Every structure is written in C-alpha cells, then in structure tokens.
Amino acid sequence: MKLYFKQRLFSWFDSYDIYDEEGNTVYTVKGEFSLGHKLPIYAPNGEYLGRIQERILTLLPKFEIYIHGRYMGEIKKEFSLFTPRFTLDCRDWEIEGDIFGWDYTVTSRNHGHIMSVSKELFRLTDTYVLDIADPENALLCLMIVLAIDAEACSND
C-alpha cells in the first residue's frame, strides 16, 4: 500500500493531506496551536483517529503517539553526528534513516519490513511517499512520518 503525504502550502499550523494511489484523501492532519507540535489525524469523514504530540522541555525531541485516545508509544530523536537517528518505543519496530534524513525504513524484529519512506525533492511543500507492507499499519506508519517531519521543521 502506498500513501502520499503532502503538506498544505498555505496554512498557519502543520496541516497535511494524505492520499492513496488513486488520489483519494485517506487522512487529514490539522495542526493545533500548542507548545510543541500537536497533530490530530482525521478520517475523510471527519472522524478523529489519533494524534502525535511533542513532549516539551526535553533535551532532544520526543513525540507521543495516541490512537483513539490510547497511548501507543513514542518516537524520539537520538544524538548522532552525521545521520538523523530516531528510536521507536512502539511494538518491536525499529527505524533507520539515510544520511540526508530524506529516506527511512521501519522494520520489525519479528515481522521484517514494515514501511519505506522517501521524501520527494524539489517540491514547494514537504512531500513523502510511504510504501507500507500491511495496510493495517497505515495509521501508525503515518504517525511516525509526521513526527519525523515535525522534528525536521523544528530544526529549519
């Protein structure tokens, strides 16, 4: 399953539309005013699905993941000199990125490949392609990419 993650060009807060391969909107993210990033995610019919919320007052960025109000885990930036590095405290998933911070792979120690993410270059807004092995993991995979993008935006 592929999802296309595109930031809206004109918005005050982090707002994104997520499309499937046919161009149908499958998720909408509407950032809210808060200390740190707070990114609620909605289905196309407006149903609230979950949120990513940045924890503030931490040495390195940390983002909590909530699906239907239930805490699922967190993604946190790790100190590294050359490549952006993140750790996931969610299921048994691990994340690995390239030196530029544009491409990531998420794997499971028990189930293998979960998702590949690549950032499309030379676009007006942040645009990512998510290639997800199991559609059941789509929302959680999207949340991981949202957290990585929020951290990158904070650094810019």
What does the pLDDT look like over 76-125, one tens digit per residue?
888 877 777 788 888 889 888 886 677 999 999 888 999 999 988 776 66
Q: Which residue has the higher pLDDT, 44 or 14?
A: 44
Q: 47-70 in b/e burial notation, b at 16+ Cβ within 10 A? A: eebbbbbbeeeeeebbbbbbeeee
- What is the model's pLDDT at position 24? 95
**Phi/psi-derived region of residue 23, left when phi > 0, alpha when psi is between -120 and 50, beta in every other case:** left
**Phi/psi-derived region of residue 86, left when phi > 0, alpha when psi is between -120 and 50, beta in every other case:** beta
For the chain, the average pLDDT equals 84
Q: What is the pTM of this model?
A: 0.85
pLDDT over 90 at 41, yes or no: yes
- What is the model's pLDDT at position 34? 61
